[in-house]
Amino acid sequence: MMSTAAPRLPDADARLQALVASRLRRPFKWGAHDCALFVADCAAACTGHDPAPDLRGRYASERGAARVLRAELGARPAAELLAGIVAARLGPEILPAMAAPGDAGLAEQGGRAILAVCVGSQWLAPGPEGLEPVNAPARAWSAACPR
């Protein structure tokens, strides 16, 4: 799949803040509110364009998510699968220190690769009790082009 990045909306920051506020206490759920779909939802809030409509409704478990990613990208380690799906759908890879609100990052949390969203000075991802801060990412992608 080719990159589907779209320009940032003039009210992108307010739309992102509203989305994050609505998800603060929403627990992680595969196929509904997992790290990949949270990244897609935040990109959609910032651009008005959903970069992952074809992923929605296709899985409801960790195994199902892995099956969908492998079908699109082949057999790879989890971190490479996550990086591949984001790279195929968002703007170019950027330095994590250059990330703006709404941009996506690939981080490690609890020994697992996860996707997170920049919300200013921190990165958030869905967790068992809702959105939670995660470690600074090693890689990042722009959710919208151009800035």
CATH number for the domain harbouring residue 107: 3.90.1720
pLDDT value for 69: 86
Which residue bears the tokens 């929605």?
56
Structural domain boundaries, residue 77: 12-141
Q: 41-54: per-residue pLDDT in tens?
A: 999 999 999 999 99
Q: Residue 67 and residue 48: Cα distance in Å, rounded?
A: 28
What is the domain count for the chain? Answer: 1
Q: What is the dihedral of CA 138, 65, 119, 25, to 10 degrees?
A: -130
Examine residue 147 and state whether it is found in any structural domain, yes or no.
no
Examine residue 1 and state whether it is found in any structural domain, yes or no.
no
Examine residue 23 and state whether it is found in any structural domain, yes or no.
yes
Q: 8-56: per-residue pLDDT in tens?
A: 899 999 999 999 999 999 999 999 999 999 999 999 999 999 999 999 9
Q: How confident is the model at residue 147 (pLDDT cuts 50, 70, 90)?
A: very low
Examine residue 84 and state whether it is found in any structural domain, yes or no.
yes
Confidence (pTM): 0.91
Examine residue 133 and state whether it is found in any structural domain, yes or no.
yes
Cis check for the bond before 128: say yes or no (omega within 30 of 0).
no
Q: 123-145: per-residue pLDDT in tens?
A: 999 999 999 999 999 999 998 75
pLDDT value for 2: 45
Biggest CA pair distance of the chain: 39
